[in-house]
Structure 1
Amino acid sequence: MPRSTSHPAPFLSNPRAVEKGWIDYNGHLNMAYYNVLFDRSIDDAFEALGMGFDYAQTRRLTTYTAEVHICYLRELHLGHTVQCNFHILDHDEKRIHVSQEMRHEDGWLAATAESLTLHVDMNGPKVVPFAPDVLAKIEEMHAVHAALPRPERAGRAVGIARKAG
């Protein structure tokens, strides 16, 4: 895969363990906590892009999720550790469209997520352009990620596929 000294392709989050309180009565990770894991992992990528906690605190600029689509592919259980990748599919001056894969520490794919995130001025709140330094980092990471194959599940819609006839 293509690599950049500043932005690996795709970006990899820190590993995270499934927590006891996240297990539901079916004995596996509750669906809501897949989103928590994806969200915490996207925070790792946003920190690398210069728009993490300090960015929000000092500049009063942050991100809001506008849309997310998760595909649950394989159950996770207590004791499992996962890592998520982060692949920029597209961006403009105010939005970033990404795909993520959540992989078990043994390498198998547990879930995928696709999301659209908005850049927000917390004083509004209102959607505003990325700060120039952050936009430059997004553009650099996107250029590296553009060489990656498009994720298989990117662009999916929710619905029931029906056979014609």
Structure 2
Amino acid sequence: MSSAISVIVPPASGRRETVAVLLAALIVVLSATGFIALHRDTATATSLPHWQVDLRSGLNAAEQGLTADLLLAADEMPYLDQVTPEALAAEGLPPFFADATATARGGHHWQLIETTDAQGWLGQPAAKEVAGAMLMRIAGETPTIWLHRDGAASTSALDDAALIAAGWRQVITRFDASVTRKDDQH
């Protein structure tokens, strides 16, 4: 005699597993949101003094290129016998060398200004709408770049106070701003 035993097997629905996975995902999302909210760093934008301008956000592409060229030329100057604009042009150093790039960046005419404690290379642009006047001052071993966009820029003194009084703005690089430059001109 055999007795028939019947066993009822319910179909696999996966309901428990689905609820468990959704609950785990919800816990992960809530934990991540809480972590981000608690560890958020608010960036505080520091404003520059009126006599400084940021290299990345305050200069156009031509002025940025001129600044880079001037700083590279400053690195080469200790190895040269002559550092007049004519001698630097003869060495082929941009921006002193008149080529297509120099023309595209404003076609600056360079002159050397010397004082008792500094040397400066003043570049007056032929195309003022492309780039402003640029000044590279070397006092000691440190070069600084200055920009003047208003009218005819000139200077005979190379100290900070005289340059600021004459309307020059020192080009600086800040690392607290975004690396991406905003293009506000379009």
Between Structure 1 and Structure 2, the one with more strand by share is 1
TM-score by length of 1: 0.29
Higher-RCO chain (CA-CA 8 Å, sequence separation at least 6): 1
TM-score by length of 2: 0.27
